[in-house]
C-alpha cells in the first residue's frame, strides 16, 4: 500500500551563506504546502538524503562548477525515494529513483532531476547514495579513468576510511595494486586494513610522513587525494616516475578566502614526469550504468565493503556537513526519512 500524500511537508533551506564549512545555523527548516502536480510532473517521497563533502562547494560564494545555491532555496542534494504520484508517462508510481531531489521529505520532479532508476527490487535504496551512487562513481571513474593504475602499482589514498576512499582502495586491490591508506585515528586505520588495504597510516600520529615514505620505498604510482593540505604535501615528494595524482576533493581546506598556500608542486611534476588531474563524477553521467554493473558485481561478491552512518530524521541534516569535515562519521553519512 502506498503512503498517503500529505497536504504539507518539510524541507531544509539555505538561510545564510557560509564562509567556510556549513554549520547548522546556516540552514533553516520549514513546512510548505504540497503543490498540485502539473502534466509531466511526478512526486517522489524521499527515503534517504545524501550528505556529501561537495555540498560545501555548492553553497559557497567562491567560483565553482555550479552557480551557488540561492539563499532561501531548498538545499540541493542527492536523495533516493519512491514515486508516489505521477503525471509523467515515463515515471510510474511505485518505481524507485535517485537524483538531485534535495534535503526535503518530498520532491516535485519533471525527470531532469533523476540520475538513476533503481530497477533491482532487492537493492536497498540507501546504496544508490553511497557505493552504488556518487561515492562509488567518484571512486570508480577517479581511480580507473584519472588515476589509471597498472597491475602492481603502488596506490596511496587519502581519507581512506571515507565513503570514496575506502572504495578507491578496494577497487585498486581488485585491479592488482598495492594499496596504502591514509586516515585519521586508530579505528579508521583498522577499518582500512579490515577491508583489504595492504597497509594504512594514521596522519594524526607523529612520524606520519616517514612512516608513509618507508611503506613506499619505490615511490607512489597513483595518489588519490581528497585532502589538499599537509597530507598531500607529504605524498607529493614520494611520487614515482610517471605518477598520477587524482584531485578528488579538498577536505582539509576550511576556507578559500584568503587562498591557502602550499609547497609548489611543479618541480615534483616535472622531475617525475607526473600528472595531477581534477575530475568530477557528474561529468561521467553517461557512464553511470557501467559503474553500477561493476560495483554491484564486486559488492555482491563481497569484494567491496562499505559502511553507512545513518541519522534518522530531517533535523539531522543541517549539522551533517560539518560532521563530515570533522571526520565524525563512520562510513557514508545518510539521513533516513522513511524507516
Q: Which of 279, 305, 327, 330 binds a copy of itself (CB under 8 A)?
A: 279
Q: Which stretch binds a copy of itself (CB under 8 A): 17-25, 30-38, 247-255, 304-312?
A: 247-255
Nearer to a copy of itself, 53 or 318 (CB): 53
Which regions of 34-161 does DSSP assign to beta strands (E)?
A: 42-50, 78-86, 96-100, 106-109, 114-117, 154-157
Element (DSSP H or E) covering residue 163: helix 163-174
Residue 244 CA to residue 143 CA, distance in Å, equals: 10
What cell was used for 119? 530497477
Residue 274 CA to residue 264 CA, distance in Å, equals: 14
Residue 171 CA to residue 298 CA, distance in Å, equals: 9
The three-class DSSP label of residue 47 is strand
Q: Least separation, in Å, of the C-beta of 141 and a copy of itself?
A: 11
Q: Which stretch binds a copy of itself (CB under 8 A): 18-26, 77-85, 197-205, 245-253?
A: 245-253
Nearer to a copy of itself, 280 or 338 (CB): 280
Strand-pairing partners, residue 82, are 45, 96
Q: Which of 261, 301, 302, 339 binds a copy of itself (CB under 8 A)?
A: 261
The three-class DSSP label of residue 161 is coil
Q: Which stretch binds a copy of itself (CB under 8 A): 89-97, 132-140, 177-185, 279-287?
A: 279-287
* Contact between 283 and a copy of itself per CB under 8 A: yes
Q: Which of 94, 122, 217, 259 binds a copy of itself (CB under 8 A)?
A: 259
* Contact between 213 and a copy of itself per CB under 8 A: no
Q: Least separation, in Å, of the C-beta of 91 and a copy of itself?
A: 31
Element (DSSP H or E) covering residue 245: strand 239-247
Nearer to a copy of itself, 33 or 63 (CB): 63
* Contact between 61 and a copy of itself per CB under 8 A: no
Angle at which helix 288-300 crosses helix 134-141, to 10 degrees, equals: 100
Q: Which stretch binds a copy of itself (CB under 8 A): 72-80, 178-186, 268-276, 304-312?
A: 268-276
Q: What secondary structure letter does DSSP report for 159?
A: S
Backbone dihedral region of 219: left (phi > 0), alpha (psi from -120 to 50 degrees) or beta? left
Q: Least separation, in Å, of the C-beta of 157 and a copy of itself?
A: 16
Residues that bind a copy of itself (CB under 8 A): 57, 63-65, 225, 228, 232, 247-250, 253, 256, 259-280, 283
Amino acid at each position: 500500500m502506498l503512503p498517503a500524500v500529505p497536504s504539507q511537508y518539510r524541507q531544509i533551506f539555505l538561510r545564510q551563506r557560509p564562509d567556510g564549512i556549513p554549520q547548522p545555523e546556516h540552514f533553516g527548516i520549514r513546512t510548505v504546502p504540497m503543490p498540485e502536480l502539473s502534466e509531466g510532473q511526478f512526486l517522489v517521497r524521499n527515503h534517504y538524503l545524501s550528505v556529501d563533502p561537495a555540498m560545501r562547494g555548492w553553497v559557497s560564494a567562491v567560483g565553482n562548477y555550479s552557480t551557488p545555491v540561492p539563499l532561501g532555496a531548498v538545499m540541493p542534494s542527492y536523495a533516493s525515494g519512491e514515486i508516489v504520484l505521477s503525471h509523467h508517462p515515463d515515471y510510474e508510481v511505485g518505481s524507485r529513483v535517485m537524483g538531485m531531489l534535495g534535503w526535503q521529505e518530498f520532491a516535485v520532479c519533471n525527470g531532469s532531476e533523476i540520475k538513476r532508476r533503481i530497477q533491482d527490487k532487492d537493492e536497498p535504496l540507501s546504496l544508490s547514495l553511497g557505493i552504488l551512487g556518487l561515492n562509488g562513481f567518484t571512486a570508480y571513474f577517479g581511480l580507473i579513468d584519472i588515476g589509471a593504475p597498472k597491475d602492481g602499482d603502488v596506490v596511496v589514498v587519502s581519507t581512506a576510511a571515507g565513503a570514496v576512499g575506502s572504495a578507491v582502495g578496494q577497487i585498486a586491490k581488485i585491479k592488482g595494486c598495492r594499496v596504502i591508506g591514509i586516515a585519521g585515528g586508530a579505528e579508521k586505520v583498522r577499518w582500512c586494513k579490515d577491508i583489504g588495504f595492504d597497509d594504512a597510516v594514521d596522519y594524526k600520529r607523529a612520524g606520519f610522513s616517514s612512516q608513509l615514505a618507508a611503506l613506499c620505498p619505490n615511490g607512489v604510482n597513483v595518489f588519490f587525494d581528497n585532502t589538499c593540505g599537509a597530507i598531500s604535501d607529504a605524498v607529493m615528494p614520494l611520487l614515482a616516475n610517471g605518477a598520477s595524482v587524482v584531485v578528488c576533493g579538498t577536505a582539509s581546506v576550511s576556507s578559500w578566502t584568503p587562498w591557502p598556500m602550499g609547497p609548489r608542486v611543479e618541480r615534483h611534476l616535472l622531475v617525475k614526469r607526473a600528472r595531477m588531474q581534477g575530475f568530477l563524477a557528474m561529468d561521467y553521467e553517461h557512464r553511470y550504468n557501467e559503474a553500477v554493473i561493476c560495483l554491484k558485481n564486486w559488492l555482491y561478491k563481497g569484494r567491496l565493503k562499505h559502511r553507512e552512518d545513518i541519522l534518522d530524521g530531517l533535523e539531522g541534516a543541517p549539522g551533517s556537513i560539518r560532521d563530515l569535515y570533522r571526520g565524525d562519521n563512520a562510513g557514508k553519512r545518510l539521513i533516513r526519512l522513511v524507516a
